[in-house]
Structure 1
Amino acid sequence: MDALLDFFNLLDGYLGSAPWFPYVLLGVGVFFTIYLKFPQIRYFKHAWKVVTGKYDKSDDPGDTTHFQALATALSGTVGTGNISGVALAIFLGGPAALFWMWATAFFGMTTKFVEVTLSHKYRDKTEDGTMAGGPMYYMDKRLNMKWLAVIFAIATVISSFGTGNLPQSNGIATSIEATFGFSPQIVGGVLAVLLGLVILGGIKRIAAVTSKIVPVMAVIYLVGAFAVIFANVENIVPSFVSVISDAFTGSAAVGGFLGATFAYAFNRGVNRGLFSNEAGQGSAPIAHAAAKTKEPVSEGMVSILEPFIDTIIICTITGLVILSSGVWQQKHENIFDRSDMVFLQGEYKEDVPEDTQNLYKYLNKLDGTTIEPYSGEINVVNGTAVTGGYTLINARSLAENVRYYAGSTDDLFSGTLTVIDGDIERENIVVQGDSLVHSAPLTAIAFTKGFFGDFGQYIVSIGLLLFAFSTAIAWSYYGDRAMTYLLGPKSVMPYRVIYVAGFYWAAVSDTTLVWALSAVAIVLMTLPNLFGIMVLHKEMKETVNEYWQRINK
């Protein structure tokens, strides 16, 4: 697993986490925003009219209504990115990361408008009579680049697991286990069966289910979130100030948070923003291709609403819950993931400015740090280390009150642990203590700091269950449309079986490995799609102008 994690992180280092990727993603959105004269603002009101059915015609070709297409696409984007992803972005980059999630969403509204319009324009009717669309169809039919379409379709299949399946299942299982104590095996098994029952019905059953789940899950989640925000209302303005003021400077060390550079916050914010709203990834156009309409631009209008609802509203609310409650900078008792831990040579303390600065450089991969991973032996007696000369970092923070167990938290470990290059060699050692936490557990803790008290964590678990499960449903459709393009309708059923099996497997897998896989898969879809819509920028403007000429007659 460690070797696999290193491989995914290496790929991600050249792709999504590379310095150039956020500039490419935002650059395309900025270009189309200026080129099309801010459609996310000018067409916003019209988009609401379209989605409410004002322009619907019963005889238009397609499988779903505008609202059902929006609900399906939203169910594909509103998932762990809104609960786990925001928490992870703030954990990594501090308040500044939320600002860059906003920027990604604002310009992503235009990007999504473009990709959905072009994909809908070149959709196809399949052998079974259903609609199939997505970037692979405009790449093939309009650009005459079948090779690029094949790359995108393969990447979509991979990403259906890396974005819509594995991290969603893992997020659900982690949250349900932490809140209710149910084992990941039971949670994964039950939900895998339910997932199979839904996706076997195809797009019409998927659209029917998601159009009911999305509104319910949004109401439940927002009630719990505002209970925290109103309980900490005095911290709302300072939270907004920190988001804005840190945006171009990075976030300084505060509490257990050891600080993040501008570059780190920028990269993590944009990266998590893309994971949340998927603008530019090319996934949502697959759902929108099923919408009943002869006007590709009208469906593009509907898609403008997705990043606004997903990121600017829901992610902002999650961010305010985490920031206003203060839990993001506090240490909490937790079981340490092996991939989050590293033993460092020497002893460091948070109240020593020189130590804090050195750790800041180490964690942000800056020059000038003298810190090296620890190699040596640690003697442990009844779960407590009695050897000095090292520092344990967990989740980018100095670990405290650390205890070591053999196999489970019922059996305190005594003996000698061998550490090589910062990692414990012995596999069955469980490490528990106080440190920062991230992802869904951080959001769950934040939800307990409101009017509902400890009950708030149940709202997160229920919300995450609904958010993530609906995302998995939507992404199964994206994957089966890609399989239809690659190998025909007969390949869909084997794909769905593997998809359901993967959903179960991820429930019992390591969190960090799953997130690393999803980070790579996202970029494998995004780059071909961004290239394709840039090539067709003139056609996009012509298509929009022709649409308004017909509407205004």
Structure 2
Amino acid sequence: MNSTLADIGSVIWGPFVLIPLLLGTGLFLTIRLRALQFRKLGPALRLGLIRRSDDGGAGDITQYQALTTALAATVGVGNIVGVATAISLGGPGALFWMWVTALVGMASKYSEAFLGVRYRVTDARGEQSGGPQYYLHRGFSELFGKTGGRVGLVLSIVFAVFAVLASFGIGNMTQGNAVAAQLDNSFGVPVVASGVILFVLTGAVLLGGIKAIGRVTAGFVPLMIVLYLLGGMVVLVLNADAIPGAFGQIFTQAFTGTSAVGGFAGAAIMYAIQMGVARGIFSNESGMGSAAIAAAAAKTTHPTRQGLVSMTQTFIDTIIVVTFTGLVIVTSGVWERGSDTAGTMTADAFAEAMPYGDKLVAVAIAFFAFSTILGWSYYGERCVERLVGAGGVIPYRMVFTCVVFVGAVTELEVVWNFADVMNGLMALPNLIGLLVLSGLIVRETRYYLDNDPTLTATAAQVEEFMGDRPR
């Protein structure tokens, strides 16, 4: 089974399926939206991180809480171990392709968050629910009638099924295992004890639903990111003389590949691209559709505003956090030791530069992984609700919480390969939807930004000018 899943994953994440589709969709949307992610990044960061809320908008949590929930799901093991894996296999050039994936992926993240709010529904409990499991069906129906609606319905169900399966893999068992392994290796905490602690903490938060998740992630996600970045900054200051050379390696080897150095098995340019794109998406999830589920719960006066806030999540995750990790690894030189040490590569890089650096990385992985568990639990339950109704939410939370313990105490090589496959399969219907619905996204985005270019309009002003929009 493990071998079969690995083979399937290599095809899905290979050079002929998701890599061109993800990059192509992001580039297509970037062009159609006139490089929105570059033009509006400043106002989007101010709205999401400084203003934090959109007074007068419908929703369950603030825009800031929706952003931190999405960050909780993405700033995880991929930002530490995933980056090390990409560099160990694809060389420093893989980091360049992670940047490219993020920059064009910001347009994809904007678009899916826009659609998540645009087509969200109010569920039986009075909460907002949205994401590809809704907008694929409702958007296709609106634009193409019954026939398009049937196609969209199939795509929405396929997405929901794969998202639920992915939530138990990449969003649960692998994260719990990462926490337990790090605490055991660095502090001698028994894996069973870690499993019990994760079980209790996860269950306590999930009982409160999205509002509790939003409050928890809004509190500790920014803190854990800042502490990790401060540690990375100390390492980079100590390795300052190696930074220019590191950038030289990153940009040069992105287009030349890496020849064999020491124990490192060389990689050609295509492998650098493949690892960079695959691990980049693993880290920031742009194009997968998952972040749209969190965006749909936000209090916002217009889909464009939340789309822009959600877009900053990819910027923070990859352009900032992943870059720090990558530079720490490359400046330290530990990447030359080869892929066999990828699991400890980031910790080794920190430890060589500062006392207890490996302990800092262990704590960071533990917090990052736990936050990912919380974010993905919400994604999974929203998709369960789409498939079987509100009655399936509580049983899902109970099973999800129990599986966290299982993941902490079990060897998971097959689960990692399973998670890669599920992530890829859930991205496919979403990318189709982004391409098909791109005309609507572009049209409504341009109209909104023509009337509110600085994102400062009040709820009353938004209602007024949106009421005059052409139908």
Q: Aligned match of 1:499 in 389, 400, 415? A: 400
- 1:170 has 2:73 as partner: no
Give the one of 82, 90, 101 matched to 2:79. 82
Contact 1:170 1:514 (C-alpha < 8 Å) held by counterparts = no
What is residue 520 of structure 1 aligned with on the other side? 421
- Among 324, 337, 348, the alignment partner of 2:331 is 324
Q: Do the aligned residues in 2 keep the contact of 1:53 with 1:66 (CA within 8 Å)? A: no
Of residues 114, 137, 140 in structure 1, which corresponds to 2:137? 140
One-letter amino acid of the structure 1 residue matched with residue 345 of structure 2 = L
Overall identity of the aligned pairs, in %? 42
Q: Is the 8 A contact 1:228 1:448 kept in 2?
A: no
Relative to structure 1, is the Cα distance of residues 262 and 195 closer, same or farther in structure 2, using a 3 angstrom cutoff?
same
CA contact (8 A) 1:162 1:522 kept: no
Q: Are 1:448 and 2:455 matched, yes or no?
A: no
Q: Is 1:109 aligned to 2:106, yes or no? A: yes
1: CA distance, partners of 2:49 / 2:81: 31
Instruction: Show the counterpart of 1:438.
Output: 342
Query: Which residue in 1 is equivalent to 2:366?
Result: 465
2:20 to 19, 23, 36: 23
Letter in 2 for 1:263: M
Q: 2:437 is matched with which residue?
A: 536
Q: What is the SS of the residue equivalent to 2:248? A: helix
Q: Considering only CA atoms, is the larger Rg found in Structure 1 or Structure 2?
A: 1
Contact 1:12/1:18 (8 A) holds in 2: no
- Quote how far apart the aligned CAs of 1:32 are: 0.7
Cα deviation for residue 323 of structure 1 reads 0.9
Query: In the superposition, relative to structure 1, how do residues 98 and 511 fare at CA in structure 2: closer, same or farther (>3 Å)?
Result: farther
Q: CA deviation at 1:308?
A: 0.8
Counterpart Cα distance in 2 of 1:57 and 1:241 = 43
When the two structures are superposed, what TM-score results if normalisation uses the length of structure 2?
Answer: 0.91
Deviations along 1:199-248, one digit per CA (max 9) or x if unpaired, are 11100000000001111101211121122111111111111111110001
After TM superposition, the structure 1 stretch with the greater mean CA deviation from structure 2, 50-59 or 274-283, is 50-59
For 2:54 and 2:247, the matched residues in 1 are separated by 44
- Checking the alignment, whether the CA contact within 8 Å between 2:132 and 2:156 is kept in structure 1 is yes
Which of residues 484, 501, 504 in structure 1 aligns to 2:385?
A: 484
Q: Does 1:280 align with 2:287?
A: yes
What residue identity is the alignment partner of 2:252?
Answer: S
Match of 2:247 in 1: 240
Aligned 8 A contact 1:84 1:171 in 2? no
1:284 deviates by 0.3
* Partner Cα distance (1:506, 1:203) in 2: 23
Q: CA deviation at 1:14?
A: 2.5
The superposition leaves residues 422-454 of structure 1 with CA deviations (integer Å, 9 ceiling, x where unpaired) of xxxxxxxxxxxxxx4113x2211111022x32x
For the 8 Å contact 1:122–1:133, the answer to whether it is kept is yes
Describe the SS at the equivalent of 1:258.
coil
Measure, in 2, the Cα distance between the counterparts of 1:38 and 1:58: 28
User: What is the letter of the counterpart of residue 348 of structure 2?
Assistant: I
CA distance in 1, matches of 2:8, 2:190: 32
Instruction: Give, in whole Å, the separation in 1 of the partners of 2:22 and 2:202.
Output: 32
**Secondary structure of the structure 2 residue equivalent to 1:260:** coil
Q: Counterpart of 1:290 in 2: which secondary structure?
A: coil
Matches within 5 A, 1:285-324: 285-324=292-331
Given that residues 19 and 267 in structure 1 are in contact (C-alpha distance below 8 angstroms), is that contact kept between their aligned partners in structure 2?
no
Q: Does structure 1 conserve the Cα–Cα contact (< 8 Å) formed by 2:52 and 2:64?
A: no
CA deviation after TM superposition for structure 1 residue 52, in Å: 4.2
Deviation (angstroms), 1:57: 4.6
Task: Structure 1: state its 5+ residue gaps.
Answer: 332-394, 396-435
Question: Are the aligned partners of 2:53 and 2:64 in contact in 1 as well (CA < 8 Å)?
Answer: no
1:173 CA drift (Å): 1.7
Please give the alpha-carbon distance, in whole angstroms, between the structure 1 residues aligned to 2:416 and 2:15: 16
- 2: CA distance, partners of 1:55 / 1:218: 18
Return the match for 1:270 from 267, 271, 277. Answer: 277
Report the Cα distance in structure 1 between the residues aligned to 2:441 and 2:180, rounded to whole angstroms.
42
Kindly state the Cα deviation for residue 53 of structure 1 after the two structures are TM-superposed: 6.1
2:172 touches 2:376 (CA, 8 Å); kept in 1?
yes
Letter in structure 2 aligned against 1:150: I
Deviation at 1:97, TM superposition (A): 1.0
Q: Which amino acid is 1:525 matched to? A: M
Any conservation in 1 of the 2:52–2:62 contact (CA below 8 Å)? Answer: no
Length-normalised TM-score, structure 1: 0.78
The C-alpha deviation readout for 1:79-119, integer Å capped at 9, x for no partner, is 01101110111111111111111110000111100111012
Equivalent of residue 65 in structure 1, options 58, 62, 68 = 62
Higher helix share: 2
Paired position in structure 2 for 1:44: 41
Task: For 1:59 and 1:220, locate their aligned partners in 2 and report how far apart those are by CA, in whole Å.
Answer: 34
* Shift in Å, 1:20: 3.2
How far does the alpha carbon of each residue in 1:252-283 deviate from its partner, in whole angstroms, 9 at most, with x for none? Answer: 11121121111111111100000000000000
Please give the alpha-carbon distance, in whole angstroms, between the structure 2 residues aligned to 1:250 and 1:55: 42
Aligned to 1:337: none
- Which among 532, 545, 552 is matched to residue 446 of structure 2? 545
**Match for 2:95 among 74, 78, 98?**
98
- CA contact 1:192–1:504 (8 Å) conserved in 2: yes
User: 1:497 and 1:508 mapped to 2: Cα distance?
Assistant: 18
Q: Deviations over 1:436-494 (max 9, x none)?
A: 4113x2211111022x32x1111111111111101110100000000111111110111
In structure 1, the residue corresponding to 2:341 is in which secondary structure?
coil
The corresponding residue for 1:413 is: none
More strand by share: 1
Q: CA deviation at 1:511?
A: 4.6
Post-superposition offset of 1:54 = 4.7
- The Cα offsets for residues 26-59 of structure 1, whole Å up to 9 and x where unpaired, read as 0000111111110011111221232146594543
Give the distance between the partners of 1:169 and 1:292, measured in 2 at CA. 31
> Which of 119, 128, 133 lines up with 2:125 in the alignment?
128
Kept after mapping to 2: 8 A contact 1:506/1:514? no
Q: What is the alpha-carbon root mean square deviation over aligned residues?
A: 1.5
Shift of 1:318: 0.2
Q: What amino acid does structure 2 have at the position aligned with 1:295?
A: H
CA change 1:549–1:235 in 2 (3 A) is: closer
Letter in 1 for 2:436: V
The CA distance in 2 between the partners of 1:512 and 1:265, in whole Å, is 23
Of 241-250 and 166-175, the range deviating more from structure 2: 166-175
AA partner of residue 359 (structure 2): Y
